Structure 1
Amino acid sequence: MSNINCCDTCTFYIYDDDYECYTCDRNLDEDEMVRFLSDSQYQCPYYRCGDEYRVVRKQM
């Protein structure tokens, strides 16, 4: 799986205390959600790398 579709590394993939699980913080519309779930080549337009050490590595 490419990083662009890996929710685990996305900034918007957050823990929801109400549901007690991780969820996407972006509201995908119905068409986007169907494409995301059914098309393995679909690239999420909201994906942002959640690597909190990325900035530090750039400074080194």
Structure 2
Amino acid sequence: MKKKIKGSTGNCEQCGNYVYDEDYECYTCEVNLDEDEMARFLSDSYTDCPYYRPGDEYLIVRKQM
């Protein structure tokens, strides 16, 4: 189940899972949440997303230097 994020709060915009979906013509989170996780997310009880992944594509290159 893909989750649409319209008014994203927090750091979703810097997350690697937050990508533009051409079918929906908006940004979506690619993490597949189960039913309990989706309920927690929609009730705003997530303070920090456990699936956050830095969207910095140069992160790997910096570690190699």
Does TM-score exceed 0.5, indicating one fold? yes
Question: What is the Cα-based RMSD across aligned positions, in Å?
Answer: 1.9
Q: AA paired with 2:13?
A: D
From 25, 42, 45, the equivalent of 1:39 is 45
* Correspondences of 1:43-58 after superposition (within 5 Å): 43-58=48-63
Q: Give the letter for the 1:53 counterpart.
A: Y
2:14 to 1, 9, 19: 9
In terms of fraction of residues, the more helix-rich structure is: 1
Q: Cα gap change, 1:25/1:17 in structure 2, threshold over 3 Å: closer, same or farther?
A: same
Match of 1:51, SS state, is: coil
Query: How many pairs align?
Result: 55
TM-score of the superposed pair, with normalisation by structure 1: 0.67
